[in-house]
Amino acid sequence: MTNEIIKFNHVKKNFGKNEVIPDITFSINQGEFVTVLGSSGSGKTTTLKMINGLEQPTTGEIVVNGKDLKNTNLVDLRRHIGYVVQSIGLFPHMTIAQNIAITPKLLGWKQEKISSRVGELLEMVGLHNADFAKRYPAQLSGGQQQRVGVARALATNPPIMLFDEPFSALDAITRQKLQVEVKKLHQQLKEKTFFFVTHDINEALYLGDRVMVMNRGKIEQFASAQEVVNHPASEYVKNLIDTVRTNQKLWEGLK
């Protein structure tokens, strides 16, 4: 049996009277790159937040890294799960180095270990230029900020990385560049599980080993990109894939 690192078992989530997720069950293997595709209100971000305990399920069981979240110290859990969010993610009152060092500091690492780790991470995300470390987030471009966000999430070398639409506010060129880099990063860092939420269908199909298509709190399909494109499991998935085809026609017509 492969190593299941994230497991949802009949999870249901309500916000007040609003049923956001009626009942989902899925599991993700260690080392997989899973993308979650859905429009706003599909429950994709809620699903992501239930993995690191920012949201708790109304009913159902969630197992992350072998631990049932019901009996787990969530603060400790979050220190060992990388978390990358949309544009506003870096703390404006901390320098880049301080932002990256947050979780290592919370874990009580020694100062030298933190400094060398920060340098190593900045290099990994292509910001090795020494003076980046001392700047404040507002002095960086959107793309650079997202790189720092990824570096911060990787700081403690967590086995799981969560991405909540990290590139949605970036321009197309920067976004594509970062997509390529994230994919490369996943290949480099073997055995790390990436859970990446997006509403961009191309991003989802390009990045994911498997793509989870969500609509109104239900999983419409959870399969490889190829499978999703060639054998859409539902009307919704089919319509989604068709939008890309329509765009392609537009491109052909313009050529």
Partner 1 sequence: MIQYWQENSTRMINLTIQHAQMVLTSLLIALVIATILIAIFLRKKNWLNLLIYIFSLLYSVPSYAFFALLIPVTGLGETSAIIVLAFYSEYVLLRTFITGIRNINTNYLEVAKGVGMTNTQVFTRVQLPLALPAIFSGLQVALASTMAIATIASTISAGGLGDLLFEGLQTGRVVPILWGTILTVALTLICIIILKLLENIMISDWWEVEKTGR
Regarding 136 and contact with partner 1 (CB under 8 A), the answer is yes
Using CB under 8 A, which of the segments 20-28, 75-83, 115-123, 179-187 binds partner 1?
75-83
Residue 164 three-state SS:
strand
Regarding 180 and contact with partner 1 (CB under 8 A), the answer is no
Residue 238 C-beta: closest distance to partner 1, Å: 35
Q: What is the DSSP string of 49-108?
A: HHHTTSS--SEEEEEETTEEGGGS-HHHHHHTEEEE-SSTTS-TTS-HHHHHHHHHHHTT
Regarding 169 and contact with partner 1 (CB under 8 A), the answer is no
Residue 231 C-beta: closest distance to partner 1, Å: 36
Regarding 91 and contact with partner 1 (CB under 8 A), the answer is yes
Q: Of 104 and 208, which has the nearer Cβ to partner 1?
A: 104
Residue 2 three-state SS:
coil
Query: What residues numbered 29-58 form the site for partner 1, per CB under 8 A?
Result: 52, 54
Q: Of 65 and 103, which has the nearer Cβ to partner 1?
A: 103
CA 32, CA 27: separation in Å to the nearest integer?
A: 11
Residues in CB range of 243: below 8 A, 6 or more apart: 201
Give the residue among 214, 95, 112, 107 at the shortest CA–CA distance from 151: 95
Residue 106 C-beta: closest distance to partner 1, Å: 5
- Asked if 85 and 164 touch (Cβ cutoff 8 Å), the reply is yes
Looking up tokens 């939008």 gives 243
Taking CB under 8 A as the criterion, the residue among 9, 23, 102, 119 binding partner 1 is: 102
Give the residue among 76, 71, 60, 73 at the shortest CA–CA distance from 26: 60
Taking CB under 8 A as the criterion, the residue among 17, 93, 190, 255 binding partner 1 is: 93
Regarding 14 and contact with partner 1 (CB under 8 A), the answer is no
- Asked if 67 and 228 touch (Cβ cutoff 8 Å), the reply is no
What's 135's DSSP letter?
S
Using CB under 8 A, which of the segments 85-93, 184-192, 207-215, 227-235 binds partner 1?
85-93
Q: Of 106 and 180, which has the nearer Cβ to partner 1?
A: 106
Taking CB under 8 A as the criterion, the residue among 68, 76, 120, 123 binding partner 1 is: 76
User: Binding-site residue total for partner 1 (CB under 8 A)?
Assistant: 24
Taking CB under 8 A as the criterion, the residue among 13, 44, 78, 186 binding partner 1 is: 78
Q: Which long-range contacts (CB under 8 A, 24 or more apart) does 65-73 make?
A: 65/5, 65/6, 65/159, 65/160
Residues contributing to the site for partner 1 (CB under 8 A): 52, 54, 75-76, 78-80, 83, 85-86, 88-89, 91-94, 102-103, 106-107, 136, 138-139, 152
